[in-house]
């Protein structure tokens, strides 16, 4: 029997709202997705599902399909590894506990970074708070916005290239679970895990064949290989490993509103891959608006 596809294309499975470091509210993001001509958008705020309800309502109004998701922070030593998670149960207690722990760690880490930056630049924690919404997952982008507001940087990208770069000496990592544990938590919550931008600099070891194999055994579904920050050589290698391990490949924009140059729909995911994500996602349902 043919699968009746209720979602529409084009499909973009990675976008942020002001619930994390995007510059648009969840409703504005869904509206922007409709204006950009997308048929399906996933909301994947960092370590939070706080935007799901608003995005779901907007998807109904805009007649768009919404895939509820998250970009979960994980870490291996100094390498920050982002795990996209789709259609998981947002009330799963083990996953929620870890998300809460990561958000708390992000908050104190940001406060510590701002205290250190504040020694050399006119910048206070209140400046950062002025750039965040009350529920937001706080990250370096909010510090960047505060630096821009204070005139210490021209835009987010410039702040990242300068004061927020680890070479400047203010950078600090934050607690995040190991990717294997994160994959297990997402699967246990009925979700579908995909490594975000796996061919970016600094995470080569993490996606080496042996570690990737461990992640596949833990339940990894796919790799986001179509993403502007992936480098060509490791991407080619990961396409081969994806075929070898039976991993699905996704493509997405990682849109952050005006916070990044990434444009909605600049990379997209094939309909049959979304079919499999929906078939495997058991913790939450897509919203067919
Ligand atoms: P954090 O997780 O707090 O260390 O901050 C990392 C976040 O900053 C990522 O999710 C990116 O969205 C964002 N980011 C990283 N590099 C840049 C950049 N050059 N310009 C704008 N945003 C960036
Ligand atoms: Fe981000
Ligand atoms: Fe990311
Ligand atoms: Zn992202």
> 164 CA to middle of ligand 1, Å?
9
Fold (CATH) for 104-168? DNA polymerase; domain 1 (1.10.150)
CATH topology of domain 11-99+175-288: TIM Barrel (3.20.20)
Predicted TM-score (pTM) of the model is 0.97
Residue 243 C-alpha to ligand 3 middle, in angstroms?
23
CA nearest ligand 1 atom 15, residue: 160
**What atom of ligand 1 comes closest to residue 20's alpha carbon?**
10
Question: How far does residue 141's CA lie from ligand 1's centre (Å)?
Answer: 6
Kindly give the confidence (pLDDT) of every residue in the chain, 289 residues in length, as a single tens digit, with 9 standing for 90 and above: 445 567 788 999 999 999 999 999 999 999 999 999 999 999 999 999 999 999 999 999 999 999 999 999 999 998 999 999 999 999 999 999 999 999 999 999 999 999 999 999 999 999 999 999 988 999 999 999 999 999 999 999 999 999 999 999 999 999 999 999 999 999 999 999 999 999 999 898 889 999 999 999 999 999 999 999 999 999 999 999 999 999 999 999 999 999 999 999 999 999 999 999 999 999 999 999 9
Residue among 80, 83, 139, 144 to mutate when testing ligand 1 (max atoms within 8 A of CB): 139
Backbone angles phi, psi at 45, to 5 degrees: -70, 150
Atom in ligand 1 nearest the alpha carbon of residue 259: 21
| DSSP-derived pairing of the beta strands 287-288 and 222-226 | unpaired
Domain map of the chain by residue range?
11-99+175-288, 104-168
Residue 256 CA: nearest ligand 1 atom is 12
The predicted structure's pLDDT at residue 2: 47
Q: Ligand 1 pocket by C-beta < 6 Å: which residues?
A: 21, 139-141, 156-157, 160, 256, 259-260
How is residue 258 written in tokens? 């005006």
Pocket test residue of 21, 23, 44, 158 for ligand 1, highest count of atoms within 8 A of CB:
21
73 is written with which tokens?
A: 């922070």
Q: Which ligand is nearest to the CA of 44?
A: 4
């Amino acid at each position: 029997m043919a699968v009746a596809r209720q979602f529409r294309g084009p499909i973009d499975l990675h976008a942020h709202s002001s619930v994390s470091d995007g510059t648009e509210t969840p409703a504005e993001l869904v509206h922007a997705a409709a204006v950009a001509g997308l048929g399906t958008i996933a909301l994947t705020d960092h370590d939070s599902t706080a935007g799901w309800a608003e995005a779901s309502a907007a998807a109904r109004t805009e007649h768009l399909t919404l895939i509820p998701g998250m970009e979960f922070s994980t870490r291996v030593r100094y390498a920050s590894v982002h795990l996209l998670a789709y259609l998981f149960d947002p009330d799963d207690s083990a996953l929620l506990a870890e998300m809460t722990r990561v958000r708390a760690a992000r908050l104190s880490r940001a406060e510590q970074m701002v205290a250190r930056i504040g020694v050399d630049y006119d910048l206070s924690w209140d400046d950062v708070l002025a750039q965040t919404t009350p529920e937001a997952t706080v990250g370096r982008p909010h510090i960047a916005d505060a630096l821009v507001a204070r005139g210490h940087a021209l835009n987010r990208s410039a702040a990242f290239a300068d004061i927020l770069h680890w070479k400047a000496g203010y950078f600090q990592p934050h607690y995040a679970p190991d990717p294997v544990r994160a994959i297990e938590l997402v699967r246990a919550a009925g979700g579908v895990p995909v490594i975000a931008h796996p061919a970016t600099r600094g995470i080569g070891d993490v996606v080496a064949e042996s570690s990737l194999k461990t992640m596949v055994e833990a339940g990894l579904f796919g790799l986001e290989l179509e993403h502007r920050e992936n480098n060509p050589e490791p991407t080619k290698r990961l396409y081969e490993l994806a075929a070898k391990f039976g991993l699905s490949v996704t493509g997405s924009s990682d849109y952050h509103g005006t916070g990044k140059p990434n444009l909605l729909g600049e990379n997209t995911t094939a309909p049959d891959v979304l079919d499999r994500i929906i078939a495997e996602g058991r913790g939450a349902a897509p919203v067919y608006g």
